[in-house]
Amino acid sequence: MKIRFIAATFILVLFVFVVGCKEENGFTPPEDGMVTKKMAENYVKVSVALTDLAENETVKLAEFKKKHEISSGMSELSDEEYRKENPTVVAAWDSVLKEWNRKKDSVHEELGMSEEEWDWIAGAIISHKNKEMRDFIREEFDRRKGEEDSLQTQPTDSN
């Protein structure tokens, strides 16, 4: 009986420590589950930057597929036999993924929104109670991407 109590106490202390550390170091969603205007604005900034990053990386991905003769679905990279027979391709893919994650993490860090918060907002805006912020995010994202697109297509003065 005493051993059970000690084990239960140890598990409880470990749980409190792990949960406590997570809340201190990570994102804690608001109790009411509501996305605030500030959160939505930051979410849009990060989303635009991540979209730009993904668009820029598509060229590198196409080059990787062509160079290593990978199918469009890239199913080879999850095939165990292919992975064993092509360790250099797998290593190159791992390097691509590592670089993508580094760049993605950099976007989150530079713009001051953790990936956990970004993920939470992405899930929370589905809720009916966040409809207003969902609409705001959609409109603001489209506006910002439209501004970027128009800036990229404007002729430059070559005088």
| pLDDT grade for 26, boundaries at 50, 70 and 90 | confident
pTM: 0.72
Tell me: the pLDDT tens digits for 63-105?
A: 999 999 999 999 999 999 999 999 999 999 999 999 999 999 9
- What string of H, E and C letters represents the secondary structure of the chain? CHHHHHHHHHHHHHHHHHHHHHHHHCCCCCCCCCCCHHHHHHHHHHHHHHHHHHHHHHHHHHHHHHHHCCCCCCHHHHCHHHHHHCHHHHHHHHHHHHHHHHHHHHHHHHHCCCHHHHHHHHHHCCCHHHHHHHHHHHHHHHHHHHHHHHHHHCCCCCC
